[in-house]
């Protein structure tokens, strides 16, 4: 009788162990397939197509808006993914501490980097307004166009783009800030504009338009701006390297599960009770 009872207990333990191991394997598969493989996939949101002035990193973007209304997205975990809370608990645990440290460094670097980008935009805006505010009216593109005006958002963003080109080539020649003429529909006379497809400035006084172009040229070719943008390039390389390290670390966890049949290390709220029970079987 005792022998049979021991045999039954052993069989029960085997079945219990197999059941718990199955739960843990299924849990690992859910986290691997739904989170770790999709960590960098953006959340799909429907939005109308609008022109946006944005600077992109591998994690998030910064958006330029004039008069200190620029904004930076907060780097965060992909909370739109199913099971992400469970994945985060595993990654935060001691078993994956080195992996999670890389992710935290990625977030820190990106946030600091985008704050510097915004400061550059603000600096360009301040210089432009200081140079033009006495002779040009700022126009937002809506309503009746003033006789002599400039569009701040368009101009600041294009200055930033042109500065990127100048940093790379050292030339400011064939640019978006070319002078052209058009008919003023209010007066019926010709006036001068800067920009063909996109309007940056406009006036019937050619000397003012030339002054606008000279002001833009001075900002684009400012060596201090060039040096700041070179520093951004260097930071971007560091960010890219850290993001790639984190991506490879996630790939390693995925390979360990799919090829090495190794379940996720550590525990989360979903699997902790199974793991503890397994230890006692």
Give this prediction's pTM: 0.89
Rounded CA-CA distance 38/94 in Å is 23
Domain boundary assignment for the chain: 11-120+234-280, 121-224
The CA-based angle 43-48-51, given to 5 degrees, is 100
- Output the pLDDT for position 163: 95
Q: What is the pLDDT of residues 2-23, one digit of tens each?
A: 677 566 677 788 898 999 999 9
Alpha helix (H) ranges present in the chain? 2-34, 84-92, 97-132, 152-169, 206-220, 223-258, 272-280
- Per-residue pLDDT, averaged over 102-128, amounts to 97
Decide if 78 contacts 41 (C-beta within 8 A): yes
Tell me, rounded to whole angstroms, the distance of Cα 66 from its chain centroid: 19
Rounded CA-CA distance 37/247 in Å is 9
Decide if 179 contacts 209 (C-beta within 8 A): yes
- Output the pLDDT for position 79: 95
- Output the pLDDT for position 7: 64
Rounded CA-CA distance 96/246 in Å is 11
Percent of the chain with pLDDT over 90: 78
């Amino acid at each position: 009788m005792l022998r049979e009872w021991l045999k039954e207990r052993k069989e029960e333990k085997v079945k219990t162990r197999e059941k718990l191991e199955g739960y843990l394997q299924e849990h690992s598969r859910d986290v691997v397939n739904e989170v770790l493989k999709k960590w960098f996939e953006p959340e799909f949101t429907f939005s109308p197509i609008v022109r946006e002035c944005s600077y992109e990193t591998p994690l998030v973007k910064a958006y330029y808006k004039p008069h200190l209304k620029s904004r930076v997205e907060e780097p965060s975990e992909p909370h739109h993914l199913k099971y992400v809370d469970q994945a985060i608990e595993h990654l935060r645990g001691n078993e994956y501490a080195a992996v999670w440290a890389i992710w935290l460094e990625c977030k820190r670097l990106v946030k600091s980097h985008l704050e510097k980008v915004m400061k550059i935009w603000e600096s360009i805006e301040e210089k432009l307004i200081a140079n033009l505010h006495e002779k040009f009216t700022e126009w937002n593109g809506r309503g009746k166009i003033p006789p002599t005006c400039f569009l701040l958002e368009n101009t600041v963003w294009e200055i930033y783009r042109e500065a990127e080109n100048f940093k790379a080539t050292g030339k400011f020649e064939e640019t978006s800030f070319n002078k052209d003429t058009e008919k003023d529909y209010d007066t019926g006379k010709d006036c001068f504009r800067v920009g063909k497809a996109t309007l940056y400035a406009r006036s019937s006084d050619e000397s003012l338009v030339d002054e606008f172009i000279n002001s833009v040229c001075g900002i684009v070719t400012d060596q201090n701006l060039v040096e700041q943008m070179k520093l951004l390039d260097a930071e971007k390389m560091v960010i890219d390297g850290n993001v790639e390290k984190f991506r490879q670390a996630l790939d390693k966890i995925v390979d360990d599960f799919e090829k090495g049949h190794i379940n996720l290390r550590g525990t989360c709220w979903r699997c902790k009770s199974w793991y503890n029970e397994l230890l006692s079987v």
